[in-house]
Amino acid sequence: MAKIYLQIDKEVNTNYFTVPIYLDTEGESVNAFEVKIKTSNNLIFRDYLEKDSIISYWIEKPSIKENILSFSGITPGGYIGKKGLLVNLIFEAKQNGQAFIEILPSSQILLNDGLGTKAGLKTDRYEFLLNITQTQKISIEDRYPPEPFKIYPQRNKEIFNNKYYIIFEAKDKQSGIAYYEAAEVPICINLGLTCENPRFEKVSSPYLLKDQSLRSYIYVKAVDRAGNERIEILKPQRLFLAEEILFFFIFSSLFILGIIFYNKIKWHLRIK
């Protein structure tokens, strides 16, 4: 039977403190996690850190909904171990006194059996004393940008009314991804280069493309929680449409014929 547990001192003396949430699989291979946590009213959830987490892909990052702190994710290939770090949660102590953090029984762990079988799960309630003698600010140490990632153009009649969109996901094992920005820059037809600098705006995946002709450079910027950035670029998927090529061919042909005809007239006028 798997167990979700945390480590915390019996007495906390700082206004901000970190609580690691661990998983003990009891020898079983698991690959999906949904954790729900309840806390006392004198605790405020402030942030989280993904560094060293066994979760490869987040379905829901830690957030508060209806007074319940929850998160979920998956680990393709599965995980077996006694102390697998799921996430580090950062709390602020609102006032001194008794406090608690409870892993709710509604949390779920799925076995890595290809069937989505629920694993048996043990949870617990942790009580401790808040006695604030030190005040500090939240500081996240992360000198590294997010890891390289891919941008995938997609089209599906079930999403965005069959319009083109992109999907992407960056990873940052230090502080975690804070947000994404994207920009679309049309190419210069005469040079095949971008005509302007990218103008970024905050987006999420999936992102509906403004240029449905797929003839723009697409920039996606991933920014981690420490402010480090990584930009990936998707080149134009189509440079010219068939009708534009035909138009260009006809126009070029007429232009060349015009030059030839002009030169002939000019030559005849010289003879006369």
Rounded to whole angstroms, how far apart are CA atoms 86 and 88?
7
Residue whose C-alpha is closest to residue 128's, from 159, 85, 99, 88: 99
**For the residues 21-35, what does the mean pLDDT come to?**
96
Residue 31 phi, psi dihedral angles, 5° rounding: -140, 0
The ranges assigned to domains in the chain are 2-134, 151-239
Residue 269 has pLDDT above 90, yes or no: no
pLDDT of 248: 58
pLDDT of 240: 56
Token pair 């030190």: residue = 134
Give the neighbor-by-neighbor strand order of the sheet with 151-156: 151-156, 159-168, 207-208
Residue 235 has pLDDT above 70, yes or no: yes
153-168 per-position pLDDT tens digit: 999 887 899 999 999 9
* For the ranges 52-66, 97-111, 135-149, 232-246, the one whose mean pLDDT is highest: 97-111
The pTM score is: 0.69
Residue 191 has pLDDT above 80, yes or no: no
pLDDT of 148: 96
Residue 37 pLDDT grade (very low, low, confident, very high; cuts 50, 70, 90): very high
CA 221 to chain centre: 10
**Which residues, including other chains, have CB under 8 Å from residue 124's CB and lie 6 or more apart?**
5, 102, 103
pLDDT of 256: 78
Residue 42 has pLDDT above 70, yes or no: yes
- What average pLDDT is seen over the chain? 88
Range 2-134: architecture per CATH: Sandwich (2.60)
Residue 49 has pLDDT above 80, yes or no: yes
| CB neighbours of residue 141 within 10 Å | 9
Task: Evaluate whether 2 touches 25 at the Cβ level (below 8 Å).
Answer: yes
**For the residues 99-105, what does the mean pLDDT come to?**
97
